[in-house]
Amino acid sequence: MNSHLSIPAGGIFVLKGGESMTLPGECVNDTQTVCMECGTALGIQVLCSAAGYYIGFFCPHCGPYSRESGYYANREEAEQALNNGFNGR
């Protein structure tokens, strides 16, 4: 007899950096921001994640800081969007 207890493998997923939040007092569609963790000035840029390319901020100390766009299939599309919609406003 096998009295094996079937313990459900409850997958615990920790979503890291997936929050899409609007910081009070800060303009989201800006081309510059300041990292709240370490105070480093960040410039908006094309970034790459497992889900694709996107436009956002990346802190060299804390890692990906925020995502300001949707995902793009390739870097060229993201760069075009950055030049057209996120620059010079």
Closest CB to Zn ion among residues 8, 39:
39
Binding site for Zn ion (CB under 5 A): 35, 37-38, 40, 59, 61-62
CB of 51 to Zn ion, least distance (A): 22
Number of Cβ within 10 Å of residue 43's Cβ equals 9
Residues 40 and 32 sit within 8 Å (Cβ to Cβ): no
Contacts of residue 80, defined as CB under 8 A and 6 or more positions apart, other chains included, come to: none
The smaller minimum CB distance to Zn ion, of residues 35 and 81, is found at 35
Q: How far is the CB of 62 from Zn ion (least distance, A)?
A: 3
